[in-house]
A and B are shown apart, each in its own frame.
Chain A
């Protein structure tokens, strides 16, 4: 069990989200940076989809009420266990009474805390993710506040030995913000010159970016004619072009369907990098073929598998 001593403005329980409810309009949800949460879980001996805490927008602290193992992944902040610095991507042991403080986030936007066993909140529709928009899942469907406490699920997995660090080659850097994308289903509604401009342009992540979608400022990208399409399914990573020409990249809590043309879709493996872009960061898109995208997807899965093997005694 941990107690939230001081909560940052944004703190909620997330796992890897829902599967099988899109036809009811429920998006996948779950961690914005799935790779980081998965890595944290592996470090503490959990399955990648165990629930952890998604932390953003500021500093705060938690207190361990029992002995545990934990890891901090994703966004980089100055963290300390009592007064000893805590490194990102490393396995730690904590004793009852230890206080973990997380400072201002220095690089990235979402930091993850993984605990051995995973956070024990009731499963809703098979997941422990928080869907803040409708107020269900996670911890009573809401953000965590100071004074809240959560338990862990029992676990006898050992995970990585305290001190184990994720090797550099298995870490995802957040410095490179060129996002690989495949052609979107409505790419043909855009002139070749416009598509080219989309790929050459630099976009700025706008302030109006959240778990539903990231809005991008940059050159207006317009289809040949403003086409209202019959609404059709979308997915995280889909780059929608609304009438004003400012792209919106759908994220984990984004709508399951949309009527705006999708010029491109960011590949799954690069969604964590986008998720970690704070407002004001610049991004670019680079087109890759579908087969390459799926190869990269498999490579990322292999990286998690490799980490799992490295952490097992």
Chain B
């Protein structure tokens, strides 16, 4: 049996989630990003917000003006389109300078069987894709990490991770925009501002952007 993708499901009474697949991949992420772009350009008056994620795209709407089935019917032709070659799409390249002096750097090196220097080398020598923003404003889930650096989250999350901490967990890496609790391994710090509410586009990163970390002196 094949399932017609994307398939739609309600998220409460004011949102609809379109699921495009089940396995996380850059290809699927790109497809969802392009669908979100098309939807944004279509500028449907009933759509209040939309969020592309790993395998899903969620559309928030006002049920005062439209019901679930009617909205799903309008979304389907917009979401169901062939994927453009990546080169034609509009992602940006963002470089983030990092002082690799995080409190967990040595622990990460020990757990991954590498030297701290090699951890830094591997973390800072590739481009990461922005898969998702969330958790707190401006927090971007970046992947994919070098397989040697893939570790489970810390057993005990920290109550406060300082803003600007560069961290890894699983196949992901990211930067904490605010002081928040967190369970990722902290390997460095940056002064780059990830979220600035004074800007009309407050988040530095968008889904689909490419991010690279540059090691700078502590």
Contacts and interface: CB of A to CB of B under 8 A. Distances in A.
Interface string B57-93: 0101001100110000000000000000000000000
Interface residue tally on A, bucketed by range:
35 or more
Contacts of A265: 10-13
Contacts of B56: 230, 232-233
B134 A235 contact: no
A21 B17 contact: no
Contacts of A301: 64
Contacts of B12: 182, 235, 237-238, 265-268, 293
Contacts of A125: 197, 200, 202
Given A231-B53, A268-B12, A24 B68 contact: no
Given A136-B197, A182-B13, A25 B63 contact: no
A257 interface: yes
Contacts, number: 145
Contact of B64 (A23, A258, A291, A298): A298
Contacts of A47: none
A25 B207 CA distance: 11
Contacts of B207: 23
Contacts of B54: 230-232
B137 A134 contact: yes
A137 to B, nearest CB: 7
B51 A23 contact: yes
A231 B132 contact: yes
21 contacts: A19-B49, A20-B49, A24-B137, A24-B195, A131-B197, A134-B136, A183-B10, A232-B54, A232-B55, A233-B15, A233-B58, A233-B134, A235-B14, A255-B135, A256-B135, A257-B134, A265-B11, A267-B13, A268-B63, A293-B13, A294-B13
A-B residue pairs, 3 tightest by C-beta: A257-B134, A265-B12, A24-B203
